[in-house]
Amino acid sequence: MRRAVKIKAELLTLIKNNGSFLIVSHFNPDGDAVGSSIALAMGLKKLGKKVHIANRDKVPDALAFLPSSGLVGREAPEGVVDVLCVVDCNTMERTGLKNLKASKTIVMDHHIMPDNAGELWDNDTLNHSIIDPGISATGEIVFSILSELGVVIDKDMAVNLYTALLYDTGGFRYANTTPESLSVASRLVAAGAEPWRITKELYESVPYNAMKLLAAAYKTIEKDGKMAWMTVTKEMLAETGTTAEHTENFVDYPRKIKGVEVAVFFREEADDLCKVSLRSKGGINVQKIAAIFGGGGHAPAAGCTVKGPLNEVTRRILDAVREALRKS
Amino acid sequence: MRRAVKIKAELLTLIKNNGSFLIVSHFNPDGDAVGSSIALAMGLKKLGKKVHIANRDKVPDALAFLPSSGLVGREAPEGVVDVLCVVDCNTMERTGLKNLKASKTIVMDHHIMPDNAGELWDNDTLNHSIIDPGISATGEIVFSILSELGVVIDKDMAVNLYTALLYDTGGFRYANTTPESLSVASRLVAAGAEPWRITKELYESVPYNAMKLLAAAYKTIEKDGKMAWMTVTKEMLAETGTTAEHTENFVDYPRKIKGVEVAVFFREEADDLCKVSLRSKGGINVQKIAAIFGGGGHAPAAGCTVKGPLNEVTRRILDAVREALRKS
């Protein structure tokens, strides 16, 4: 079976020849960012390196179960490190961190590079970085780097990397799930990652008040033709004692309805402001719809923040979705 | 990487040396039963064999998307076939079919054998059968048999086998997910199975009225200590125009609550009869609770049908769960 990711010899040499490392990732870190950062740190420590992890934001509660999650600090260490590893992120801007001092920089990422990549990174950095949007998760890159370096993946590293893979492939469900993702997953389970334990932490640990919020939100689901939508009001959050972060992925629920091509989730932020998430199951590019309202994203998943009361925003967005469906 | 399943030489010889096959499986067939049966039939046909599939029940609507699902007939062909393949099931009783005529029989299954297996099958059959509860899905057995026979797994076979694996591992989430399950899955994706397309069919094709039923059921979720439960009444089914089959897996929803060890789903069948499903997330053996009420199942998943009005059945079951949790 072929290796998940081809690792450049220059990158391996750089790691072997240096002693101190700082690992950073994007702010608001997700499972791939946190899991990849921790696994990389654990692997480098096994090789006798001095390693720090810094993130602008704290590890989300849902990921606190990750072994060694305490390694993720909020600030960079003083002084100059040998190598800065920018993980699951490909611009310094996305790290939210400033004035990091390092002799060399490696980027390990699977997001699409911005057009001005040449201005953001020097040639030396680009030469030994791994940036490949064809890879489903940064965890696969870290797995391959550590394997090439001869690091034996132990159970704690496997749990971190398995979580990284699960997170970015939607539990091996999204279109980015490749033979390599599943092959790496297979080896991580062999190394001690337990799918059911990780599943319980990631998908079966919904706080009771968040479940009550979801119950209220389910009642709002409506469907019209090939679009369906769900709404959460300020009142629903207040009544259940929940916050906006509990609504993450709520847009997935209306998407599950048979025959639905576009799903929308509306969250009332204030009397005059709504957050809108859009998902497409296939043919419709929802990034184009979000762009009309000043938002952004990708063809299958986009979002925007729209001024106006909930009922008016709902009407305007649904009109735009209806128009996109009509034209398709 | 080691082969998913070790296949006996006698089994391969038996297949090679015979010409006509009848494939049967358990009644109320699920994704593993249907996917494994179809993939095996397609593979044997590629080898020039004459093949029929018979099932007592029709393929469920949710699995109608499987390539060649039309191959699954309801009745066995007339006459004597060379080989009867009993797939995803290890007793003739569970097939619900009678008077099947075959010269030889092969059982391919991963369920635990009943104690009287020696009476159910002759030694010849047991010698070349594959019955191994350590395997996560019968689809893995079929994959290995076809691979050993030199059959190239095409896209349609891969979709059937991938669905079989997904079904019995809960989307690679249950504790039975092994390195081998994921390795076989990797090879099936390489052969053309598309995880996102299959996900859409299996998990994102909820009929709108079933979604409305789920919304009503969500409102009933309650939690007390380490137990949580959900209820569907006859009235809710009537109001949403749904039937009992739409409540499949509803017990998974209360199970997702953080801190819940035992989840229960109550479905009112009649004024004086309730169907109860029980799930355990860890330490509690819910089969023992179901057994008190004349039901059965396994340690993590069991069920029973209890006489009495809904409120009374609810009270009795929850008392039993509370008692089990107290003792644990």
Are the C-beta atoms of residues A5 and A180 closer than 8 Å to each other?
yes
In chain A, list all ranges with CATH 3.10.310.30.
Answer: 210-327
Are the C-beta atoms of residues A11 and A128 closer than 8 Å to each other?
yes
Are the C-beta atoms of residues B293 and B304 closer than 8 Å to each other?
yes
Question: Tokens 């669905």 — which residue?
Answer: B163
**Token pair recorded at residue B57:** 């029940």
Query: With the C-alpha atoms ordered A31, A37, A40, A41, is the resulting torsion angle positive or negative?
Result: negative
- Over the stretch B155-210, which tens digit does the pLDDT of each residue have? 999 999 999 999 999 999 999 999 999 999 999 999 999 999 999 999 999 999 99
CA angle A291, A297, A300 (to 5 degrees): 105
The verdict on B133 touching A (C-beta cutoff 8 Å) is no
Distance, C-alpha A231 to centroid of its chain: 24
- From chain B residues 154-173, the ones with a CB under 8 A of any chain A CB are 169-173
The verdict on A178 touching B (C-beta cutoff 8 Å) is yes
Residues 6+ apart with CB under 8 A from A255: A228, A263, A279, A281, B204
**Token pair recorded at residue B274:** 């309730």
* Residue of A177, A204, A223 with shortest CB distance to B255: A204
SS3 A279: strand
Q: How far is CA B228 from CA B212, B225, B259, B308, B322, in A?
A: 21, 8, 10, 21, 11
Contact A183/B178, CB-based, under 8 Å?
A: no
Are the C-beta atoms of residues B22 and B85 closer than 8 Å to each other?
yes
Q: Out of 3.30.365.10, 3.90.1640.10, 3.30.60.50, 3.40.50.2000, which CATH number does the structure's domain A9-203 have?
A: 3.90.1640.10
**Token pair recorded at residue B120:** 């159910």
Angstrom distance (rounded) from CA B55 to CA B33:
10
- Over the stretch B56-68, which tens digit does the pLDDT of each residue have? 999 998 999 999 9
Angstrom distance (rounded) from CA B212 to CA A109:
41
* Smallest Cα distance from B161 to chain A, Å: 15
To 10 degrees, the CA torsion angle through B233, B235, B236, B237? Answer: 90
pTM of the model: 0.93
The pLDDT of residue A157 is 98
Question: Tokens 């990422």 — which residue?
Answer: A109
Low pLDDT (below 70) residues in chain A: 1-4
The verdict on B243 touching A (C-beta cutoff 8 Å) is no
- Over the stretch B120-169, which tens digit does the pLDDT of each residue have? 999 999 999 999 999 999 999 999 999 999 999 999 999 999 999 999 99
Distance, C-alpha A254 to centroid of its chain: 21
The pLDDT of residue A2 is 40
In chain B, list all ranges with CATH 3.10.310.30.
Answer: 208-327
In chain B, list all ranges with CATH 3.90.1640.10.
Answer: 9-203
Partners of residue B194 in chain A, C-beta under 8 Å: 175
SS3 A248: coil
The pLDDT of residue B4 is 60
* Smallest Cα distance from A8 to chain B, Å: 24
| Average pLDDT rounded to a whole number, residues B249-255 | 96
pLDDT(B2) > 80? no
Contact B196/A173, CB-based, under 8 Å?
A: yes
Angstrom distance (rounded) from CA B322 to CA B328:
10
CB atoms within 10 A of CB A117: 15
The verdict on A134 touching B (C-beta cutoff 8 Å) is no
The verdict on B255 touching A (C-beta cutoff 8 Å) is yes
Partners of residue B212 in chain A, C-beta under 8 Å: 221
Angstrom distance (rounded) from CA A185 to CA A196:
13
Q: How far is CA A9 from CA A6, A12, A139, in A?
A: 9, 5, 19
Strands A50-54, A72-73: parallel, antiparallel or unpaired by DSSP?
Answer: parallel
In terms of Cα–Cα distance, which of B52, B98, B105, B107 is closest to B83?
B105
The pLDDT of residue A1 is 37
Are the C-beta atoms of residues B216 and B267 closer than 8 Å to each other?
no
Which residue in chain A has the smallest CA separation from B215?
A: A218
- Over the stretch B80-107, which tens digit does the pLDDT of each residue have? 999 999 999 999 999 999 989 999 999 9
* Residue of A186, A204, A223 with shortest CB distance to B183: A186
Are the C-beta atoms of residues A303 and A295 closer than 8 Å to each other?
yes
Contact B256/A204, CB-based, under 8 Å?
A: yes
Contact A196/B174, CB-based, under 8 Å?
A: yes
Partners of residue A190 in chain B, C-beta under 8 Å: 179
* Smallest Cα distance from B211 to chain A, Å: 7
The verdict on B299 touching A (C-beta cutoff 8 Å) is no
Element (H, E) at B266: strand B262-270
Partners of residue B173 in chain A, C-beta under 8 Å: 171, 195-196, 199, 203
Res. B117 pLDDT band, cuts 50 70 90: confident
Question: Tokens 């390990």 — which residue?
Answer: A108
ipTM: 0.92
Are the C-beta atoms of residues A196 and B174 closer than 8 Å to each other?
yes
Contact A173/B182, CB-based, under 8 Å?
A: no
Which pairs count as long-range contacts for B284-288, CB under 8 Å and 24+ apart, including other chains? B284/B321, B284/B324, B284/B325, B284/B328, B285/B324, B286/B262, B286/B324, B288/B324
* Residue of B173, B190, B204 with shortest CB distance to A179: B190
Partners of residue A199 in chain B, C-beta under 8 Å: 170, 173-174
| Residue A257 DSSP one-character state | B
* Smallest Cα distance from A5 to chain B, Å: 15
Half-sphere exposure of B278 (CA within 13 A, CB side): 34
The pLDDT of residue A323 is 97
CATH class of the structural domain B208-327 = alpha beta
* Residue of B179, B195, B203 with shortest CB distance to A186: B179
Which residue in chain A has the smallest CA separation from B195?
A: A173
Are the C-beta atoms of residues B201 and A256 closer than 8 Å to each other?
no
On the 0-12 / 13-18 / 19+ scale of CB atoms within 10 A, A185 is: buried
| Residue B134 DSSP one-character state | T
In order, the DSSP letters of A232-246 are E-HHHHHHHT--GGG
The pLDDT of residue B112 is 85
Question: Tokens 């690679």 — which residue?
Answer: B172
Topology (CATH) of A210-327 = Diaminopimelate Epimerase; Chain A, domain 1 (3.10.310)
Dump strand ranges (E) for chain A.
Answer: 20-25, 50-54, 72-73, 81-87, 102-109, 130-131, 222-224, 227-232, 262-270, 273-280, 296-297, 301-307
| Average pLDDT rounded to a whole number, residues B30-35 | 97
The pLDDT of residue B312 is 98
The verdict on B2 touching A (C-beta cutoff 8 Å) is no
The pLDDT of residue A4 is 60
* Smallest Cα distance from A323 to chain B, Å: 22
